[in-house]
Amino acid sequence: MSRYLVTGGAGFIGSHICEELLRRGESVVAFDNFSTGLRENLEHLSGDLKVVEGDLRSLAAVEAAMRDADYVLHQGALPSVPRSVADPITSHQVNTEGTLNVLVAARDERVKRVVFASSSSVYGDTPVLPKREDMTPAPKSPYAVSKLTGEHYCRVFYEIYGVETVALRYFNVFGPRQSPHSQYAAAIAKFIRAMLDGGQITIYGDGGQTRDFTYVANVVEANLLAAAAPGAEGQVFNVACGGRISLNDVVTTLARLSGTEANVRYEPPRPGDVRDSRADVSRAAAVLGYRTLVDAETGLRLTWEWSRALGSGG
């Protein structure tokens, strides 16, 4: 049995990672300040789980949570491009300084490996598709800058201190437990909530913008592979399905699943938004052994069914 520290462990992605680790019989410490994570995301879990309330901005809190950890899966962050545009200082403090605290503590605790949750937003709005890890980053938002900075810190800590790090660039992750309630909630969660409530879906732009929507099970798998794969240390990998779907097509699919007609309102694009995104996942396949477990359309169906069962859109 290995001991895993999952930062942001009560969050959408973090709680799914905790769940899978516990299913595999591992020991898990879920670290979260519950600003966006929810205790209820962990309440159904059983096994060797310790929940620690703390803030990434406190090095002492991170060090205490990391004691005796073998691996760190660093999911903790303040998500959302629009949120970072509205409040760049807090995004920097949590995402950049918080990641630095995690790496310092990992170095001092001599953990075996740190897996860092980065983002496809680091690519910016370059027209070349698919996005490859060797492309020059061009972040368009403070959130994207914070994630790219975290990647650089990971590489530097590997090269200077010998801390094994792997950075995973997530592409538009969705699935059960993703909250639709915040004004900064992700598109699919908000769309499903609106359709369940008989409300209006808001799309910023013309809806033709495309994303490599990635069901959460694929991200969980990538994290566990990245923690163990030989030769992955010091590298960056895309995590996605390798396809793209427009927001209009997402709405059409959800309308078919619900058996109702969608009510869509279009608004001007938001600052920092990217027009098109699609990942090349060949490096992750070759080095990590990564493959898509659940395609986007199947993921939409599973997420819709989960949300409908809750009766409130998540």
By annotation, the residues acting in catalysis are 143
Here the tokens at position 194 are 């609106």
* Category of 59 on φ-ψ map: left (φ > 0), alpha (ψ -120 to 50) or beta: alpha
DSSP 129: S
Say how far apart CA 94 and CA 103 lie, in whole Å: 13
φ/ψ of residue 211, rounded to 5: -140, 150
Contact in structure between 93 and 59 (CB atoms under 8 Å): no
Contact in structure between 243 and 299 (CB atoms under 8 Å): no
Here the tokens at position 62 are 């991170």
CA–CA distances in Å: residue 100 to residues 106, 149, 245:
10, 10, 34
| Interior angle at CA 138, CA 137 and CA 143, nearest 5 | 100
Say how far apart CA 70 and CA 29 lie, in whole Å: 11
Residue with tokens 């990672």: 17
